[in-house]
Structure 1
Amino acid sequence: MRRSHPLPKIWLMTDGRFGDDQLRAIQQLPARSGVVFRHYELATQQRRALFAQVLRICRRRGHIVLLAGDARTALRWHADGFHQRSRGQTKLLHSAPVHNAREIADVKRCRPDLLFLSPLFATNSHPGARPLGPLMFQRLAKLAKPKRVIALGGMSRQSAQMLGLWTIHGWAAIDAFRKKTA
């Protein structure tokens, strides 16, 4: 269910590239951060078992955890919300991934709480994909208003600080949390 504290400004997107370091990375996030649990590549039983471990850490640290997938599964797995473009009939927190103006327009009808807009910069998650770049990112972030926007794609603490003047709510990353300097 929805948390009583403000929506996190820092989000970790789970990824198989973390390997055994993923749980440690989640533990090292600042308190009350957010985690979007993905791991689509795992069989349902494995995915649910790993999610249960992540959820325990998130509860101890005060993190919000969103399950990438439908609202019904997120509710069954006791997630705080779900990460998907479709609308769920629930009071769970709802985030959605967006990459262009058409997706923003489509997803705003679903009334998500957060939009993860990507890729701002080049990213290892999608090698060869063309990043939006700062100007296009800003245009799309303005289209997303009044929704809260989370910057994703090649993000780090340093690039998030650079974005401090922009009209975004926060930032998300994978690789930034895999490095000891994150």
Structure 2
Amino acid sequence: MDSRLVAWARVVKRRRLGMEATGTRKKSGPPPLWFFTDAHRTPDPLSIISRLPVGLCGVLFRHDSHPDRAGLAKAAARICRARRLTLIVAGDARLAKAVAGGLHLRGGAPARRFLRTHALCSASVHNERELSKARRAGVDLVFISPVFPTATHPGVPGLGGAGWRLLARQAGRMSPCALGGISGWRAQALGRRCVGVGAIEAFL
């Protein structure tokens, strides 16, 4: 696990708690670290989830092609509850409700009929159009990606720090997070506007 990334997350969380204590914010918001499960690169996500820093992380459950996706999601939910980790399920509102988790919208796709039943909603966005869709859907946090070249999007050039910050400034009330090629020093380089990051490799 990237120790510098964990240290960065602790700083972000302390900063949020400080703002909450002074009344600048009403709540500390979602966790700063997000582990994205991946069927190919993390075939056994439960072993990774069980080692995530307590109270500092969230899990974005994908594993779309798993033969027992619901069973795996329920097992992940049990670990998350025990370790005070936030769970969000990608693209499946029924499964998200079944495990009492949040809902992740791919490409910022709106799903207004589902949003009211989930305590936390996120979206992945890659451009201004998708960001606008996420904003209209009323999601809580957006994963702007890919910031840097990543195996998830082979051959796709990253937005870079400047491109990420350009979209992050348009996030409005949504919490802007970074996704794609993330490491501790890269998260620090994005500045204070970045309040969360998603990663795969950094947790291995």
TM-score w.r.t. the length of structure 1 is 0.87
Partner SS, residue 115 of structure 1? strand
Q: TM-score, normalised by structure 2?
A: 0.78
Residues 88-138 of structure 1, C-alpha deviations (whole Å, 9 max, x = no match) = 232421111100001111221100011111000000111111211111111
Find the counterpart in structure 1 of residue 171 from structure 2: 144
What CA RMSD, in Å, does the superposition of the two structures yield over aligned residues? 1.6
1:157 matched to 2:184? The reply is yes
The amino acid of 2:162's aligned partner reads L
Unaligned runs of 5+ residues in structure 1 are none
The equivalent position to 1:80 in structure 2, one of 92, 97, 101, is 101
Residue 77 (structure 2) pairs with residue 50 (structure 1): no
Distance 1:5 1:55, change over 3 A: farther
Alignment-derived partner of residue 22 in structure 2: none
Deviations 1:132-181 (A, max 9, x none): 11111110010112210110000122322333x23121111011112xxx
**Unaligned stretches of 5+ in structure 2?**
1-26
Name the counterpart of 1:14.
37
Work out whether residues 61 and 90 of structure 2, in 8 Å CA contact, stay in contact via their aligned partners in 1.
yes
**Alignment length (residue pairs):** 170
Deviation at 1:5, TM superposition (A): 6.5
1:46-83 CA distance string (max 9 Å, x none): 111111221111111100000112333311x2232110
Matches within 5 A, 1:58-137: 58-75=80-97, 77-84=98-105, 85-87=109-111, 88=114, 89-137=116-164
Percent of aligned positions that are identical: 41
Cα distance in 2 for residues equivalent to 1:162 and 1:78: 35
